[in-house]
Chain A
Amino acid sequence: MTRQVPRASDPKVDTIFGIHPMLNLFNSASFSAENRDPFSARCARRASLLPWLLAMISLVMTSMASSQSLSVQPLKIAGTISSADWEAYRSRFVEDSGRVVDTANGNISHSEGQGYGLLLALAASDRRSFEQILSFTFTELLIRDDGLAVWKWDPGAKPRVTDRNNATDGDLLIAYALAKAAEVWQEPRYTTAAQKIARAIGKNTLGRSGRSLVLLPGADGFGAGDRPDGPVVNLSYWVFEAFPVMAVLAPEYEWNRVWRDGVMLLQQSTAGRVRLPADWLSLQSGLQPKPADGFPPEFGYNSLRIPLYLLRAGMTDLEWLRALKQRWSAENEGVAVVNVVTGQIRERLTDQGYAILQAALACALEGTPVPAALRTFEPSLYYPSTLYLLAKSLLGEKYPQCVSSAAP
């Protein structure tokens, strides 16, 4: 039930990863945000690469035909969660101090949870709670010298911060929620804070792997020089919807590439027999990502979020999502923790918060209405409850037909 940011540090090994010509294909299909496209300016097309491009197109068309139309469609977020659902969540997982509590993990808190809390408070249009959660986040976690948040806070420890490394997804979520909230509530204080974090993420957590630019899970311990199998990444740290927002906040960094190379990495890591990425991937050995040392080679609690993030970013055309939807359907194995080497299931996940991920896929890809049993929020533990609300917020905003009372 636990997901942890691991500590790591080991001798350096260099790597090459990524098929460069392919990347240009993604370039041409960058974020197509309707109003302003922060990326189009950055997508310099190089004539010299054109022959390459043409040569590669046929190859890529076959394997990734659908990926050309990848794009991020911005979400509104605010007002997509009912106050009843939010109240059920808030009263269980948010303390008066603004601390979001991971009830399955010894009641610790982490930057990820604070980020989700902010995002969900915004989705519920609850500025009161947003301020509360922000106050805790700001005073207890946003204390690192580099401007990122320490990731782990334990009420039973002294000092409470038990690991001062950051978790990059937490930082992304916090910055993203702040930026979205700043827009909705017209609060420059949030923008300033979001910008600081976005710059810190850009400065400290982007790592090179061959020709790719990847999001390192933490500022320390995951790079090529930090461990023998480094760089090590976690695909579920790519909160795809956040990258265009980061690009506005900190345009000096190549968020477009990070986003693009994340998609590439996902394609590569799902190309194997089992077609599932391990939570923790080593990019050390050339072209093919491998399960990282010291972690179970599992598609686990971390990676469950990948399809959710893809859907939220509107990246529904990825072929892999179809395969995953099939795998997750009730007739097949359902949502589960799976060994990516053997394909064996270690644990079936039946909580509402996991089941709704499959329902959201079925809705987004095939228009299947969300089953009645998943329509009413029954909060259990922090993590699945969070996933549930994130999914529900998306469904409410983008796919109301799947959750409307008219649907069967």
Chain B
Amino acid sequence: MRLVGSAITTAILILGFAAIAQQTGPGGSQPPAGSLPSGSPPANGAQPQVDESALRYFASQGDTRRVNAEIARLRALYPNWTPPSDLSQLSAGGSAPPDPLLERLWNLYREDRIAEVRAAIAERQAADTNWKPPEELVTALETVEARRRLVNASDSGQWQTVLSVATESPSLLTCTNVDVLWRVAEAFARTDQPIRTRDVYTYLLTNCANPAERLATLQKALTLLPEQQVADLLQFERRTGESPDDFSSIRDELARRRVERASLDSKMTASAEDLAAVERLIRNTNEAGPVLILGWYNYHHGNPARALELFKTALDRNGGAKAAEGYAMSLRALERLTDAEAFAYEWRERAPENMKIYLDVATALLSQDPAPRLDARVVARIVPVVTAQRFPDGAQALGWYSYNTQQIRTARDWFRTALGWRPEDEPSAYGLALSTQRLNERAAFNAVVSQWRGRSERIADLADGTNPGSGRRSAPVQPRAEMETAPRPAAARQVAVERIEVEQPLARTEEGVRLRQTQARSTLGRGCAMTRNPTGLSGDAALTRGWCLMEINRPLEAVAAFDQAIATGSGRTREEAAYGKSLAYLRKNLTSEAAIAAAEAPQTRSRQVELGASILTQRALAAYRDKRYVETLLALSERARLVPEQNDLLLIRGWSYFNLGRYKDAEQVFRAVQRTGHSEEASVGLNAIQEATDQVSQ
């Protein structure tokens, strides 16, 4: 017990629990009958402090059977423990007859049935008010209860409780309870006292002997302490003795982390030892992790060939999307663009990073100088991806590729598309100017020039005739793979009423709306899923609720919430709510309601346009579905006054004309669509006209 006492003092001092030290002076937990453990405390506390209280009690009662059972139990728990030599003295001195209740209490205690010990003590005290439980049993009980509370509190993240229990029960802070020490260390870390955390680990590594626990201590330190402090703790590694430490895995982990940091930063170099450690990890495990790290390190430190090998290994080890990204990037760095494009294409859907590298690689492939000879299939598969992703660099690259392969109309359309996606893209504007000039489209050319003259010298030069086309771009080239596919907005298939419904409304605003909805949702959690009446909510709360309901796609309930917001909210809230309400109605295809809602609060100009356009789109589509073609055309024309008519709606217009028998108008529209690249859909229309007019003329 002296040993326990001294260890506690050490722990207290080290942990800085100064206040407790006074409470638990040397006399704090005096063992019974002047017992001292055999031998002196081993240096470094190689022997854990074992709770011998039950053992001593059985010995004092002369109960050899239980003494032996307890010795066996403690030996199993603590292999290095030796029973105290003074047990026989205790036994000899134990002249008092054994108390069966005490025996039962100690048994319950031994079996960890703490509540029942408490109950039995209370029962005995109720029967005999003078009876007091033995002090060491009370202490033992309190210690176990404290440990339970500490563990439970730590499992529930109640770190203050962990620390206060540790303060009140310093007898827990010994090598017998390494788990408790770890939890206390974590509590310090979680309450921003890393120095104390380090002190606990230092105490543990200085005093506790179990090599597995020592190693685990460093593993815990890795998760809680800055690396430098972990590195400092390595000095406590015991290289000699019966059971020496092996902290090499910790060293390797530190090395791995250093290389990992350097792997993404070309200005940071890793030491040869650290790199060797990671190489060793790669050899000794089957995991992709270290391979990826070394791959990125090589990639960012000028060795793409080695990086490529490593990423290949990582792929073989199921390194997944990250490995694929690295592999594609290495191929690109090695200028193997054709391979890179083919490889990246396969992985593009796996993660946003994979899509990004695919688009980059494809763009690089198209933009090579001189213009490459590309397989038509390659170009054909690049086009839909660039279109779906609305990737302006890709569109521009397709523009140049078309231009350089003498497909000037296609080039013009791609440049236009690129500008649509990124209006400030000067190279695309230049491309557009060049193509329109080549096509002799004066009006279009002048439009570009007037827009860009002030911002782009080369476009101005083009207009002034000082630079009649860039030599490089307009150099005659061999016929290349024909561009079968010109730019084509994503939402165009057949007479795409369904598709338009799904994708069209408010494409530009969808993102803003989604942001609002997600924010509302994260504020309310599943809160808004519960059906209820929004009356009584404040304007802002109702608005949040409305967006939240939109997010879980319950637009009609959202309408009710937005109504409440319109009724009670401030100006800004009302505007927002009216906007939301319109969107909600649009989602239910209730266009008249949407139109009314839009008028409920003043909207900004751009929102007016958005909402108006969306409402008209839906109105047109609804009319078209109901075969009310005149109304369809009316709605489309109204819409066209607000925003340019996109190809899919042009097709609707064409078919409306067609169905009204206005074949000339229909033909005009379909031809226009055909010119912008919607050849398939337009051809269907044109053929239909052909057929219809043939029949008429026959």
Contact = CB atoms under 8 A, between A and B. Distances in A.
Nearest to A286: B536
Given A96-B115, A138-B145, A143-B153, A13 B126 contact: no
Given A96-B115, A228-B544, A131 B122 contact: yes
A129 B126 CA distance: 12
Contacts of A161: 152, 155-156
B149 interface: yes
Contacts of A285: 536
A367 B133 CA distance: 48
A135 interface: yes
Contacts of B123: 127-128
Contacts of A133: 115
B118 A131 contact: yes
Given A97-B115, A145-B158, A161-B155, A127 B536 contact: no
A140 B537 contact: no
A278 interface: no
B145 A294 contact: no
Interface in B116-171: 116, 118-123, 125-126, 145, 148-149, 152-153, 155-161
Contacts of B98: none
A150 B156 contact: yes
Given A96-B113, A128-B120, A159-B155, A228 B161 contact: no
A139 B527 contact: no
A282 B122 CA distance: 44
Contact of A136 (B115, B126, B161, B540): B115
Contacts of B456: none
Interface string A143-171: 11100001000000001110010000000
Contact of B118 (A135, A160, A228): A135
A161 B640 CA distance: 62
A131 B141 CA distance: 13
Contacts of B148: 139-140
A235 interface: no
B544 A294 contact: no
B530 A293 contact: yes
B122 A130 contact: yes
Contacts of A97: 113, 115
Contacts of A10: 523-524, 527, 541
Nearest to B540: A11
A284 interface: yes
Contacts of A130: 122
Given A10-B523, A11-B523, A128 B152 contact: no
A294 B536 contact: no
B122 A127 contact: yes
A308 interface: no
B532 interface: yes
Interface SS of chain B: helix
Contact of A228 (B149, B156, B530, B537): B537
Contact of A131 (B119, B158, B525, B540): B119
A229 to B, nearest CB: 7
Interface in A205-235: 228-229
Interface residues of B, number: 37
Interface in A8-46: 9-11, 13
A159 B456 CA distance: 66
Interface in A273-312: 282, 284-285, 290, 293-294
Contacts, number: 101
A360 to B, nearest CB: 30
A132 interface: yes
B144 to A, nearest CB: 9
A172 interface: no
B161 A144 contact: yes
A62 B544 CA distance: 43
Interface residues of A, number: 37
B252 to A, nearest CB: 31
A290 to B, nearest CB: 6
A182 B115 CA distance: 18
A390 to B, nearest CB: 22
A293 B532 contact: yes
Interface in B90-126: 113-116, 118-123, 125-126
A81 interface: no
B538 interface: yes
Nearest to B164: A145
A133 B341 CA distance: 69
B149 A139 contact: yes
B115 A145 contact: no
Nearest to B123: A128
A179 B560 CA distance: 51
Given A144-B161, A145-B161, A228 B541 contact: yes
Given A10-B524, A128-B122, A128-B123, A164 B115 contact: no
B164 to A, nearest CB: 9
A132 B523 CA distance: 42
A142 interface: yes
A319 B476 CA distance: 100
Contacts of A134: 118
Contacts of B523: 10-11
Interface string A95-114: 01110000000000000000
B160 A145 contact: yes
B544 A11 contact: yes
A294 B527 contact: yes
A140 B152 contact: yes
A202 B558 CA distance: 40
Contacts of A144: 153, 156, 158, 161
Interface string B503-524: 0000000000000000000011
A139 B536 contact: no
Interface in A238-293: 282, 284-285, 290, 293
A143 B152 contact: yes
A327 B153 CA distance: 46
A192 B525 CA distance: 40
A129 B156 contact: no
B194 to A, nearest CB: 19
Contact of A129 (B119, B125, B536): B119
B210 to A, nearest CB: 25
A11 B528 CA distance: 13
A143 B149 contact: yes
Given A10-B523, A128-B119, A294 B530 contact: yes
A228 B538 contact: yes
A122 to B, nearest CB: 12
A136 B118 CA distance: 10
A97 B144 CA distance: 14
Nearest to B153: A143
Contacts of B116: 96, 132
- Give the residue among A143, A159, A285 with the most B Cβ atoms within 10 A: A143
Given A129-B119, A159-B156, A138 B541 contact: no
Contacts of B125: 127
The 7 closest A-B pairs by CB, nearest first: A228-B541, A98-B115, A159-B155, A145-B160, A135-B115, A143-B153, A131-B122
25 contacts: A10-B541, A11-B523, A96-B116, A127-B125, A127-B126, A128-B126, A129-B119, A131-B122, A136-B115, A139-B145, A139-B148, A139-B149, A142-B149, A143-B149, A143-B156, A143-B158, A143-B161, A144-B153, A144-B158, A145-B160, A159-B155, A161-B152, A228-B545, A229-B536, A284-B536
Given A11-B540, A128-B126, 19 more contacts: A11-B541, A13-B541, A98-B119, A127-B126, A131-B115, A132-B118, A133-B115, A134-B118, A135-B114, A139-B149, A139-B152, A140-B152, A143-B153, A144-B153, A144-B156, A145-B161, A228-B541, A293-B532, A294-B527
Interface of B: 113-116, 118-123, 125-126, 145, 148-149, 152-153, 155-161, 523-525, 527, 530, 532, 536-538, 540-541, 544-545
Interface of A: 9-11, 13, 96-98, 127-136, 138-140, 142-145, 150, 159-161, 164, 228-229, 282, 284-285, 290, 293-294
